[in-house]
Structure 1
Amino acid sequence: MGDDAKYPIEQQIEAKRRGSLVRQRRAYVCWVLTGVMTGLLVYELVFNAKAQGTPFSMKPFVNPLLGPSQAALIEIGARYAPCMKHIEEVPSTLQMGCPSNTANPPTELCTIEQLCAHGGFNGGDPNQWWRFISPVFLHAGLVHLLVNMFVQSTISAQVEREVGSLGFILIYFAAGIFGNVLGGNFALVGLPSVGASGALFGTIATMWVDLIAHWRFEHRPKTKLAMLTVELALGIGLGFLPGTDNFAHLGGMCLGLLTSVAVYPMITETKTRATIVLAFRATAIALAVVLYVVLIRNFYTGNPAQGEAQ
């Protein structure tokens, strides 16, 4: 192989060491997503203000993330298993507090079907499958949004610049939706969940893939490893707050790893390394498809009820 053939690889390696190996200069998708998510949080707060008289839920329970009540989140579009499939322990006729309720025990009651809104269930079983997707765009409160948008404007934006907008969309939404699929299988069935955290964990996973694949070429790789570890720990800690879900975080991390292996541009100096990378990509795609199929099937055929309606 002559010098001319080697030069592009050497150029990539040098750019990687400088931290400037990017496909595009601006993170357009991140900007759009941030605008949409901010607008939706404003809608959530207005919705809660109309229902309870204040944008932040204070009664019957305080939302520490400075956001709407859980009932409001459910009506707006949170992942909530009783809205998505029939669960014997939480039938659609079960009554619980409406979004307007401020008393404990509740005095304003709605059935599950009324709370799920969006046309109800049309006389059949709950079937709002789109709640695997909608929570990616919603947040449990102002604090939740600010934390997530900080990650989105830094780590996620860098990932978009490195993989390009199309690759970023694939990583972001594959991770975000799968996080909700995993949460739907294993999280407490009576708790709604919202947030882009699963998708953001997917982009954090991309940084891990990048670090492991290009350890030799990274500038101060141990420092980057320490930073990624701290970010991962903080994200898991946030998952214990109301309205969030660590299963969604872990699911996003898992699918983020697989989709990143599949699409992240990797430096391959030799044919052997290129063959190994290709094999890893094919395996990652197959595993991602299998995980989606198995867990979606399990959600609809199994009984995820591990808690009671709140």
Structure 2
Amino acid sequence: MLQWGANFSPATQNGQWWRLATAVFLHFGIIHLTLNVWALWDGGQWVERMYGPMRFLLIFITSGVVGNLFSLTFHVISVVSAGASGGIFGVYGALLSYLWLNRTRVPLIEFRWVFFGAVIFSLFTIVFGFLVDGIDNAAHGGGLITGLILGALLIPRDARQLSRISLACVVAMASAVLVIMLLVVLPDPVPLQPLFFFLSNEADIRR
């Protein structure tokens, strides 16, 4: 997984920043891949219809990259992480933003079913991540926050209820908090050791 491009602090912080993106498309086995594909299909079909294919793709990839940045920031150097879950949580974050900003225009029954379904899924997965080892909650949280911000920023004009200025102010403040938080806690780069050194020492795997 390291050779294919998994996220790993000593490698990523020493010039291999492309790992933040490639790790989104790597998975630890068929079960990991299948669960992520199902979750992406379940929420993604809503978000793609709400935002369109290009905005949907931007939300997914950006949330996945920022989620991996969160993983890099909050985990120790022995963590090797990969998976699309950060991007998937970004998709669910965008879904929540869209529904909340349009809550007066969506039929109440549909709003409750979709909105609270997405909330329950997100909360259950994050709580489950605290109870089970090997789940990358840092990537999940980073992706969810990014999706909430991008969902408000990229919402189509015909679905926007707030003025452009008000929406821009909210997004700018949320983005500033996110960036400042990352800059404060981002660890210093760790000297890069030969790859065989890491392969010969057991590393924590995060999905």
Per the TM alignment, residue 293 of structure 1 is displaced from its structure 2 partner at its CA by: 7.2
Contact in 2 for aligned 1:262/1:285 (Cα 8 Å): no
Match 1:264 to one of 155, 168, 188: 155
Match 1:83 to one of 11, 23, 45: 11
**CA–CA distance in structure 2, aligned partners of residues 250 and 185 of structure 1:** 12
Match 1:284 to one of 163, 171, 182: 171
Match 1:207 to one of 75, 95, 105: 95
Question: Which digits, 9 at most, give the CA deviation of each residue in 1:108-160, with x for residues without a partner?
Answer: xxxxxxxxxxxxxxxxxx32111111111111221111111012122113211
Bigger Cα Rg: 1
Q: Quickly say closer, same or farther: Cα 1:216–1:250, change in 2 above 3 A.
A: same
- Aligned counterpart, 2:48: 160
AA aligned to 1:84 is T
SS at structure 2 position matched to 1:216: coil
Q: Quickly say closer, same or farther: Cα 1:238–1:141, change in 2 above 3 A.
A: farther
> Which runs of structure 2 are paired with 1:295-306 in the superposition (5 Å)?
295=182, 299=186, 301=188
- Aligned counterpart, 1:97: none
**CA–CA distance in structure 1, aligned partners of residues 165 and 60 of structure 2:** 22
Return the structure number with greater relative CO, CA threshold 8 A, min gap 6: 2
AA aligned to 2:165 is L
AA aligned to 1:130 is W
Contact in 2 for aligned 1:259/1:288 (Cα 8 Å): no
Per the TM alignment, residue 251 of structure 1 is displaced from its structure 2 partner at its CA by: 0.1
Per the TM alignment, residue 283 of structure 1 is displaced from its structure 2 partner at its CA by: 3.5
- Aligned counterpart, 1:235: 125
SS at structure 2 position matched to 1:183: helix
**CA–CA distance in structure 2, aligned partners of residues 292 and 132 of structure 1:** 16
- Aligned counterpart, 2:194: none
TM-score where L is the length of structure 2: 0.78
Q: Quickly say closer, same or farther: Cα 1:294–1:274, change in 2 above 3 A.
A: closer
**CA–CA distance in structure 1, aligned partners of residues 162 and 129 of structure 2:** 38
AA aligned to 1:225 is F
Match 1:223 to one of 113, 123, 127: 113
Tell me the number of residue pairs that the alignment of Structure 1 and Structure 2 aligns: 188
SS at structure 1 position matched to 2:79: coil
TM-score where L is the length of structure 1: 0.54
SS at structure 1 position matched to 2:80: coil
**CA–CA distance in structure 1, aligned partners of residues 129 and 149 of structure 2:** 23
**CA–CA distance in structure 2, aligned partners of residues 196 and 148 of structure 1:** 7
1:253 aligns with 2:151: no
**CA–CA distance in structure 2, aligned partners of residues 279 and 181 of structure 1:** 28
> Cα RMSD between the aligned structures?
2.7
Structure 1 gaps of 5+ residues are 1-72, 86-125
Q: Quickly say closer, same or farther: Cα 1:130–1:294, change in 2 above 3 A.
A: farther
Bigger share in helix: 2
Per the TM alignment, residue 204 of structure 1 is displaced from its structure 2 partner at its CA by: 0.3
Q: Quickly say closer, same or farther: Cα 1:74–1:145, change in 2 above 3 A.
A: same
Identity among equivalent positions (%) equals 25
Q: Quickly say closer, same or farther: Cα 1:76–1:241, change in 2 above 3 A.
A: farther
Per the TM alignment, residue 205 of structure 1 is displaced from its structure 2 partner at its CA by: 0.6
**CA–CA distance in structure 2, aligned partners of residues 297 and 76 of structure 1:** 30
1:151 aligns with 2:42: no
**CA–CA distance in structure 1, aligned partners of residues 114 and 181 of structure 2:** 34
Per the TM alignment, residue 294 of structure 1 is displaced from its structure 2 partner at its CA by: 6.2
**CA–CA distance in structure 2, aligned partners of residues 288 and 176 of structure 1:** 16
